[in-house]
Amino acid sequence: MCRDFERNLAASLKGNPKDVWRYSKSKLKNKTGIDDIHREVGSLTSDDHEKAEILNKYFTDVLTRKDTGIILIMKERQESVTLRDVIITPDLVEKKLNKLNVSQSADSGGFHSRVPKEMSSAIKVPLQIIFSKFIMEGTLPEAWKGAHITPIRNKGSKISR
């Protein structure tokens, strides 16, 4: 029965691509967010704000050096290459888009790398114009400066530290 449904879905691909995307998205097993974390007292918390505070405290303790007696003085650097010297061509943009890995899952916004890869010839010129403009101005959009970082548990229990 499932095979018949998938065959019918494949046959209707050109007429109704949204059904194909909806079906494929339903089959993905993307999990977003962070699992529950143990508080210092031992109980679990599912509150996102509290999880952020626990992780912040943990990484601050682990990654902060306590010895502030030695402060390095950096020499002033002479910049020989600036961003304005970088030239982005439509062919370079298309080449980078074609190297995208389509076997990876969609990003946190649900955007899959297959879309820009398959549309690379159509979007290479607009992207080249956008990237060149940002390089000439020396700025980036605020949204590009942020990141969503999700820790991935490699070994051990989900509830152990």
Q: Give the pLDDT confidence score for residue 93 in this predicted structure.
A: 93
Q: Give the pLDDT confidence score for residue 23 in this predicted structure.
A: 78
- Tokens 């969609």, residue? 106
Domain assignment of residue 24, yes or no: no
Domain assignment of residue 130, yes or no: yes
Q: What is the three-class DSSP state of 44?
A: strand
pLDDT tens digits, 111-140? 888 888 999 999 999 999 998 888 888 777
Instruction: Say whether pLDDT at 160 is over 70.
Output: no
Q: By the 8 A CB rule, do 55 and 151 touch? A: yes
Structural domain count of the chain: 2
Tokens encoding 159: 């509830």
Both 60 and 89 in one domain: the answer is no
Both 87 and 60 in one domain: the answer is no
Amino acid identity, position 107: D
- C-alpha to C-alpha distance for 141 and 161, rounded to whole angstroms: 37
Both 53 and 98 in one domain: the answer is no
Q: Which of 11-29 are b and which e, b meaning 16 or more Cβ less than 10 Å from the residue's Cβ?
A: eeeeeeeeeeeeeeeeeee
Q: How far is CA 119 from CA 17, 49, 78, 108, 129, in A?
A: 15, 39, 40, 21, 16
Both 53 and 87 in one domain: the answer is no
Both 60 and 94 in one domain: the answer is no
Domain assignment of residue 158, yes or no: no
pLDDT tens digits, 8-66? 777 777 777 787 778 777 777 666 677 788 888 888 888 888 888 888 888 876 666 66
Domain assignment of residue 40, yes or no: yes
Q: By the 8 A CB rule, do 159 and 38 touch? A: yes
Domain of 54?
34-64
Domain assignment of residue 44, yes or no: yes
CA dihedral defined by 43, 49, 54, 56, rounded to 10 degrees?
170
